[in-house]
Amino acid sequence: MRNRAGILLVENEQLAVIKRTKGQTIYYVIPGGGVEEGESFEEAAKREAAEELGIQVENLQLALEFEQNGSQKYYFAGKYNGTLGKGNGEEYRTGEGTYLPCWIGLKSLDDKALYPEEVKSMLLKKR
């Protein structure tokens, strides 16, 4: 079990996500990853935003917390600096398929495979 932190960046009714393509399968994931030893959940969310999206986030507010193979916490970012898509985490160098940071419309979430599903459900309720 490993604790995980993720970042929810919403701007102009759009959500920053990672579009994953593996073979014929296309799905979206919330940017985030494992909390490293000695790191807080907030610190991990900020690090993951930099690694996966290429941005620096501030003013985080806890949006959702749940247990699934460890504790998971997802934070809304209040502000960010940088250009989305300029990340350089190991995700870009390892694994199979494609890994593309992008924006998707909050109104289109019903039609998207977005993980974790708990985050998708929470976002759908907030619309």
Kindly report the average pLDDT of the chain as a whole number: 91
| Model confidence, pTM | 0.90
Residue 123 DSSP SS3: helix
Q: Taking residues 105-112, what's their average pLDDT?
A: 94
* Residues ≥6 apart with Cβ < 8 Å to 29: 17, 18, 20, 114, 115, 116
Q: Taking residues 52-67, what's their average pLDDT?
A: 96
Superfamily of segment(s) 4-126: Nucleoside Triphosphate Pyrophosphohydrolase (3.90.79.10)
Distance (Å, whole) CA 110 – CA 63:
19
| 37-59 pLDDT per residue, tens | 999 999 999 999 999 999 999 99
